Amino acid sequence: MIRAASLFLVGMFVLAVFSWPQELLAHERRHPVSVVEADIYVTKFKATVKLKAFAEDLELLQGIEVMDDGFYDSEELVDATKDHADYLAERIELLTANGNQLSGKVVEITQFEIPDEGIRQGQLMNYTMGFVLEYEFDEPPEFLTIVQKMVAEGMLLPSELKVMLKQAGSDQPFMKMMKPDQPETFRFDWEDPALQSDASDEDWESWFEKQREKTLGIQSYSSVYSFIYITHYEVRHEVLIPLASLASFLELERADPGFLEVAEQAAAAKKIEAFFSSGNPVTIDGVVVQPTFDRVDFYGLDLRDFAVQAERRKVSMANGRVGVIMSYSTKGMPASVTVTWDLFNEAVKSVDSVVFAFDEIQKTEFTMFLTDNTFEWKATDQPAIVPIVGVPADREAYSHPVIQIPLVSALCGLGVVLSLAFFVFCKCTWKVVLPALLFFLLVGALCWNAQIWELRNPFLAKPKVPAEKAGQVFNQLHKNIFRAFDYRNEEEIYNALSQSVDGELLRDLYLKIIASLKVKEQGGAVSNIQEVIIGEGEIDETTSPIARPGFGFRSKWDLVGTVEHWGHIHERTNQYDARFLVELVNDRWKITNMEILDESQGPVRTSLRKF
C-alpha cells in the first residue's frame, strides 16, 4: 500500500515537471541562482570593480514583471538596469580594516542590447549587463573586506558573487565564490606583492614563507583556526574564529549591527563561553572535563599576533575575530585525550587543527561531512617530571671545631678544688676532707661521658667550604629552584621549592619568580621556563652564615621563558645578579637568603612553530 502510494506521488511529480513551460524549465536548469562576476583591481589609492551580471537579475532582484503579451517592457528594462547599478553599489560592500564601509560610485553601465521585438519571458538569461564601480582610499590599504548582501525575497537559493581580485604589480588573482553575509578579507603587501605567473617554484616557496612570517601564520581571515596543546599538567584548546561565523551560531546583542562595542563584549564573551561549553567535548583518561576559559578576546584585522592580548576596542562584525582559550586540568600526566568538534553550520563547515602533544606535532581536520569528528591521542613513552630532591651535606665536615667538656665531671673537679681549698684555708683534718674528695673523684670518673658540653674551639677556625664544592652545591640548588616551576599546582611548586629553600625566603622567592615569569603582553600569563643559563659565580665573603655551617655565593644568570598561543612562541630572556646565603639545614644544603643586586628584562621575541 505504501509502495503504491509512493509510486503515485513520483508519477504525479514527473507529470507536473513535464507540464511546465519549456522556457521556464530551461531557465531553472540554467540559472537557479543569481551569479554576479566581479573583477576587482586594487591599486594603492583606488579599487575598480567590474561587474558582470545576467539580465535575469532584473527579475530576481529588481522585481520587473512580464507584460500580458509575454514580453518585458523595454523601457522598464533600461530603467531597472540603472537601478540595478545603484543596488549593486549598495549591496556589494568594501570595508576597511576597522570595518568602516567605503563609498563606491557607479562610473559606467554597459546596457544589454534589446531587440526591436523585445525580450520574451524566460529569455533574460541570454543577456548580460556590465557595471563599473570605483572606491577610493586615502592611503594604500593592507586589508579589504568584501561583503555581498544580494538577497531577494522568495529566492530558493542565495545569490552568489564570484570574485577575482588582483593587486597592482601582480598578475596572480585571488578567487572566491561568496554567498550573502559571509565576508571575505583580502590582504595586500605593497612592498612585496604576489609574484608574476612565470615565477619559479623556488621563488614562490620563498615568497609564501615571507608572507607566513609577516602574518605570523594567520593567512586566511575567514577560516577557523584550532590549536590543541597536550602537556604534563593540562590540555589546552585554542580557537580563533571570525566574529561573523560566531554570529551565525549566536545572537550577539549590539546597538550597531555592523560593530560590537567594548561595552557589549562582556555579555558576548559570556555567550561565547556558554556556546563552547555546550559542545566540542574533551575527555581526559576517559572522563569528560569541563573547560576553564582563560581568555575570550576580540581582535581587529590590524593585529597579526593573536597570542598578544589586545587592547579592548570595538570590532567589526564583518572582519573581527574572537580568540578563545580553554584549558582542561589533567591532574597529572594524561594517558589518553580526545577532542571532538561538533559545532558546524553553513558558515563553519570544516576546521583545520594543529595538535602539539609534548614534542610531537600532528594535523587533523574536523568537517561536517564526516560522521566522526574526534581526535584521539594516547601517551607513548613521554618522560614524567623527575622528582626534585634536596642536596645532602656532611655536617661534621663543615661544622665549627668544638671542645667537649663532660659537665658532671667538670663540676666534680670543681668540688675537688673547693675541698682542697677548704682543707688549706680552714686548717681542718684529713678526716673531714677525704670523704668529700673521694666522692667527687668517684662520681667524676663514673660520669665522664655523661652530659657532654660543647664549646667552640677559640684556637681553631671554622672549616670553609671549598670553592669548587660551593659552586657545585649552589648550581644544583639553583637548578632545583627553577625546575620546581615545571609543576603548575601551587602546592606542588611549594613542595618542590622546599627541597632547596628554607625559611621566610620560600614564599618570597615563589612570588618573585612568578612575577618575573609574567609576560605583560600576554595579559599576565606565566611563561614556561625554557632554559636557565648560569654565568659567573663565586663565593661571596660579604655574605656569611652566623650560626650554621654554610657559605655566601654571588651568581649571575639568564632566565629564558616562553609563552605559546596559536602556534606563536613568545620568548623573553631576563638577566639577574644576586647574592645568596647557603646553609646546612637538617643535613641538607638550602638557600636561606637572597638579595637581588641587578635585574634586567629583555625584549619579547616572537617566532612560529613549523607545521
Three-state helix/strand/coil letters over 207-237:
HHHHHHHHCCCCCCCCCCEEEEEECCCEEEE
Question: Whole-prediction pTM value?
Answer: 0.75
Task: Please report, as a single letter, which amino acid is at residue 276.
Answer: F
Q: Helices marked H in 300-388 — which ranges?
A: none
224, 354 in Cβ contact below 8 A?
A: no
177 vs 568, higher pLDDT: 177
State the Rg of the chain over Cα. Answer: 41
Most confident of 216-220, 522-526, 527-531: 527-531
Mean predicted confidence (pLDDT) in 323-348: 91
327/234 Cα distance (integer angstroms): 7
| Cβ 40 vs Cβ 166: under 8 Å | yes
pLDDT of res. 108: 95
Does residue 401 carry a pLDDT above 50? yes
Domains of the chain: residue spans and CATH: 20-192 (no CATH), 225-378 (no CATH), 401-456 (no CATH), 464-608 (3.10.450.540)
Q: Which span out of 209-213, 394-398, 486-490 was modeled with the highest average pLDDT?
A: 486-490
The C-alpha cell of 374 is what?
574526534
Q: Which of 264-273, 346-355, 544-553, 573-582 has the lowest mean pLDDT?
A: 544-553
Residues 150-205 pLDDT 10s: 887 656 567 899 999 999 988 888 899 998 888 999 989 898 888 787 888 887 78
CA distance linking residue 6 with residue 16, whole number of Å: 15
Between CA 429 and CA 441 the distance in angstroms is 19
- Asked if 244 and 318 touch (Cβ cutoff 8 Å), the reply is yes
Average pLDDT rounded to a whole number, residues 325-344: 91
pLDDT at residue 145, rounded to an integer: 94
For 224: left if phi > 0, alpha if psi spans -120 to 50, otherwise beta; the answer is beta
Query: CA–CA separation, 283 vs 339, rounded Å?
Result: 7
Are 513 and 486 a contacting pair, CB within 8 Å? Answer: no
SS3 at position 92: strand
Q: For residue 64, what are the contacts with CB-CB under 8 A and spacing of at least 6?
A: 58, 72, 73, 76, 77, 80
- Residue 441 phi/psi, 5-degree rounding, is -65, -40
Sign of CA dihedral 541, 545, 549, 553: negative
Share of the chain above pLDDT 90, in %: 43
Rounded Cα distance, 382 and 379, in Å:
7
403/15 Cα distance (integer angstroms): 120
Tens-digit pLDDT profile for residues 216-271: 667 778 889 999 999 888 899 999 999 999 999 999 999 999 999 999 999 999 99
pLDDT of residue 606: 80
Q: What is the DSSP string of 394-417?
A: -HHHHSPPEEEEEHHHHHHHHHHH
Average per-residue pLDDT for the chain:
83
Least confident of 66-80, 251-265, 304-318, 415-429: 415-429
In the prediction, which pLDDT does 2 show?
37
Given this model, what pLDDT does residue 29 score?
A: 39
Q: 47 versus 570: which is more confidently predicted?
A: 47
Confidence of residue 456 (pLDDT cuts 50, 70, 90): low
Distance between CA 584 and CA 400 in Å, rounded? 12
Question: Please, what's the largest Cα pairwise distance for the chain?
Answer: 164
Contact indicator for 70, 120 with CB cutoff of 8 Å = yes
Say yes or no to pLDDT of 425 above 90: no
